[in-house]
Structure 1
Amino acid sequence: MSHARKEYKDFMALAPEAYEVVLALGKVAAAAGIDKQLLELIKLRASQINGCAFCVQYHILQSESLGMSADKLNLVVVWREAPQFSPRERAALAWTEALTLLSGGVSDEVYAQASAEFSEKELAYLTSAVASINVWNRFGAAFRWTPPARQKPVGAAAS
């Protein structure tokens, strides 16, 4: 079992300027009108690829709070084989994977697929969201942040 080297809250205190910049970058796509559920899907997929346990759990919890189905969340890792994803979601997930696994660049096919589903402006903001989660993943994986706990509903009995 791995142990945390530093926790998320430690990062905020150690590098507040970096924290604020990455946090701000992460907010621009939603502010520009990109669907919040779609943004959570891409953040979850990038976090899976990058092996960031904190970010995987965080974005599962965020997705649930936005009403995303358990089926969709469970199948993000195999989205190509799962019928739950719309063409727009598939384009966003392919774009996310291409930008996260950048060693081969972004193929013309993936660019065409993304361009068919997103306007130029939307694609620019989607790219900013992918860039942001990849930065968070680097911090979370490097410092092995402990994944956040699921919050118990108010009034729930302790178990």
Structure 2
Amino acid sequence: MSEPLPPLAVEADTPPPFDTLDYGILHEFVGMYLRVAYEEAYADFVRRLGDEALRPGYFTILTLIVHNPRITQTQIGMASERDKTNVTNALRWMEDRGLIRRYVAANDRRTHMCVATEAGQEMQARMKAKAVVHLTALNDAIGVDKRAEFVGTLKNMIAALRAEK
């Protein structure tokens, strides 16, 4: 059985004030800020789209299907940058709710094409109308004059990190 750790020799027996915490190297981790920014953007998306809101990834996939009838699952994965498992789960969820239909291609039975149903088109239209308000909020937060540079920087970061794999 191990001995309990000795008490730390500290001057005070209270935690440090939050505004004086030492973050060490953490303030240099861009990923931390990207995560927090994503979480705030996600919360804004959910708040603005309301109770019937699709998850952002599902909204992305449904939008691709509405705008590209007969899009394949592989194309959806590539365009949305989602892995096969996530795409399959999203499509199954949408199909179960009557938002899309999946069809097997006549010329290749391994290929599954997706088409939005009328209910799926209507839901995507409702979500899109609300998503525009969300996009405006994000663009205002970034700054309209900085948006192109910001998105370009993110794309460059993605490309550079992928090139290192």
The TM-score by the shorter chain falls in which range?
Answer: 0.3 to 0.5
Higher share of residues assigned helix: 1
With normalisation by structure 2, the TM-score equals 0.35
Counting strand residues as a fraction of each chain, which structure ranks higher? 2
| Higher Cα Rg, which structure | 2
